[in-house]
Structures are given as C-alpha cells and as structure tokens.
Amino acid sequence: MTSTAVAARADEVWKVYGSGEAQVIALGGVSVSLARGEFTAIMGPSGSGKSTLMHCLAGLDTVTRGEVHVGDTKVTGMSDRQLTALRRDKVGFIFQQFNLLPTLTAEENILLPLSIAGRKADQAWFDTVIRTVGLADRLRHKPTELSGGQQQRVACARALVGRPEVIFADEPTGNLDSRSGAEVLGFLRNSVRQYNQTIVMVTHDPNAASYADRVVFLADGHIAGELRNPTADAVLDTMKRLDGAGAH
C-alpha cells in the first residue's frame, strides 16, 4: 500500500459560485482528511455543500481556494488530461443513477475503467469482487435487464475492481428501496473491512450513515461536527441539532 495513511485530503477549501449579490459560498474553508481504509459518510442539510465537497475531492470540480490531495498527489491545479488520468487510475465513482452504459453488459461495465486505461483485470480480484457483489449469474446481462439494486451493485463492482485510492459515492442508495439499499451499503462496508478500500459517501439517510466508520457533518459550507462509529439514532440527533441551528 501507499506510504500515507490519508487517502484524500481537503485543506481550507473554498468553493464560491457567482459574484456580488448572487454570490453563493458553497464551501467556506473546509478542511477534512479521509483516512485510508475508512468508510466516511458526509451528511448535512440540503444545500450544505456535500456534493460540492465530494466533487472537489474527486477532481471533478475545481476549487476557488485551498488545496485537494488524493493520496500523495496534489489535485489542485491539474490539467484536464491529468484530471482524467487521476479519475481513471486513482478514483472510483458511484452515482445516484445512470451509472452504467446501456450498450455494455454488466461485466463490460464493471471492466470499463480498466478498459479505458488499457489495463487487464486481476482475475482473482475480479472474481472476488463479483462474488461479494453477488452478480456471478448476471454478468452477461445488459443494464436494462437488471433491477435498480443490481445496477447499483454493478456500479459498486466497477468502482472496486480497479482498486482505486478512494471511491466516491453520491447518494448511491438514494433511488433504492430499503432492502436493496441495505445490500449495497453492506457490500460497501464489507469492502472497507475486508479489502481495506477507502470510501466516501454522501447521504441523506441516517440509516445509511450508520454503516460508516465516521460521519462528517456539513452545514452552510462548513464542517459542523463529526461522529465515530455512528448509530442511526446518534446521526439523527446530530442532524436535528444542525437543522435546528440552521433554522433561525
């Protein structure tokens, strides 16, 4: 494994949209470190900057001020070409929906980032991932032939198969019923525990957050606290407090 224990890091990150009257400060100097092999959930009220933070960490968006690192690499200031390579080689993504290419089978979708990079999959690892996700008998199916939960599991497998430095997931269970959601979340937690994968997940759901090792709370673009080994109730309490604080 790599030398540092930090998989991704934001230092005093600002993200400001617009200017003057219409100025929106999405992130107001956020500093956060994501430890390797940890499952971190980011929570906060709607509009608090969760997605923005995640996009900045993943190199999908540029920051206004501050610095972002993924592993040892400084992301801030990278060219589009470098960012593309970073996303390809060091980062995995799971989106809320539209994760898969409808023209490719489940297997091809899983191998997509590796194919893009021109790398070969480690067969043993691939088999392990497939087994864990429970998709062995669905590999030849097209996404339209899979349920929403299965599609998200394919997306998880895709993110995992390249063993990225860190996987970012923006509300990966947002579109799923509770049972499918639980499957996906269990699988994510499993990959952290068993394979030392680093995962950052944005979620609204306290229940989902309870699968994480650590919950970071955002409010109005600032870090508003964090919880270690959270339970759903503890998360809910903190959220209520934050909502209450933001209410007046």
Partner 1 sequence: MFRAAWKSLLSRKLRLLLSGMAVVLGVMAVSSALILTNSLSASFDSMFRTINANVDVQVTAKPLAESNGEDEDNAMPQYLKPDAITRVAAVPGVKTAVGQVDANGARVVAKNGKVIVTQGPPRLGTAWRDGDGVAELRTGTGPKSDDQVAINAVLAKEGPFKVGDTIEVLTLEPKKKFTVSGIFGLSGGRDSVGGETIVAFTEPVAQKLMLGQPGVYSSISVTAASGQTPAQLKTAIAAALGDGYVVRTSEEVAKAQSADVQEFLSLFQKFLLGFAGITLFVGIFLILNTFSILIAQRTRELALLRSLGAGRGQVIRSVFFEALIVGVVSSTLGLFAGYGVAALLKSLMFSNLSEATLSFTPAAVIAAYAVGVLVTLVAAVVPAIRASRVAPIAALRDAAATEKSMVKITVAGAVLLAAGAGGIAWALFGSLPGSTISLVLMLGVLLVFTGVALVTPSVARPMVGVIGRAFSWSLPGKLGRRNSARNPRRTANTAAALMIGLALITGVSVLAASLNASMEGTFKRELSADLLIIPDSGDATYDPEVITRIKNLPGVDKAIGLYGGVTADVTGKRVWMTGLDVASAIPILNIKAKAGEVRALKHNEMLISQQFADLRGLGTGSSIKLKTARAGEQTFVVAGVYAPQELFSEPLISDTDAREYFQSQMPGVGAVKLKPGADEKQIRKEIEGMLAGSPEVAVASQAEFVKQQSGQVDTVLNMLYALLALAVIIAIMGIVNTLALSVLERTRELGMLRAVGLSRWSAMRMITVESVVISVFGAVLGLAVGTGLGVAVVRALKHEGFDELAVPWTRMLVFLGLSVVVGLFAAILPAIRAARVNVLQAISYE
Ligand X SMILES: Nc1ncnc2c1ncn2[C@@H]1O[C@H](COP(=O)(O)OP(=O)(O)OP(=O)(O)O)[C@@H](O)[C@H]1O
Q: Which residues bind ligand X (CB under 6 A)?
A: 17-18, 24, 26, 44, 46-52
Q: How far is the CB of 52 from ligand X (least distance, A)?
A: 3
In the complex with ligand X, which residue's Cβ is closer, 28 or 37? 28
* Alpha-carbon torsion angle 198, 203, 205, 210, nearest 10: 20
Contact stretch for Mg ion (CB under 5 A) within 8-16, 44-52, 105-113, 216-224: 44-52
Sign (positive or negative) of CA dihedral 197, 199, 205, 209: positive
From the list Mg ion, partner 1, ligand X, none, which binds 245 (C-beta under 5 to 8 Å, kind-based)?
none
Q: How far is the CB of 19 from ligand X (least distance, A)?
A: 11
51 binds Mg ion (CB under 5 A): yes
What gap in Å lies between CA 161 and CA 142, rounded to an integer? 19
In the complex with Mg ion, which residue's Cβ is closer, 106 or 224? 224
What count of other Cβ atoms lies within 10 Å of the Cβ of residue 145?
12
For binding to partner 1 (CB under 8 A), which residues are involved? 51, 55, 60-61, 80-81, 84-85, 87-89, 92-93, 95, 98-104, 112-113, 115-118, 144, 158
**Structure token pair of residue 172:** 């990966």
In the complex with partner 1, which residue's Cβ is closer, 88 or 189? 88
Q: How far is the CB of 225 from partner 1 (least distance, A)?
A: 26
97 binds Mg ion (CB under 5 A): no
Contact stretch for Mg ion (CB under 5 A) within 48-56, 62-70, 80-88, 133-141: 48-56
CA angle at 50 for the pair 181 and 3, rounded to the nearest 5°: 90
Q: Among all chains, which residue has been given the structure tokens 């489940």?
A: 106
What gap in Å lies between CA 28 and CA 13, rounded to an integer? 7
- DSSP 8-state code for residue 178: H
Q: What is the SS3 assignment for 42?
A: strand
Confirm if 83 and 59 have CB atoms less than 8 A apart: yes
115 binds Mg ion (CB under 5 A): no
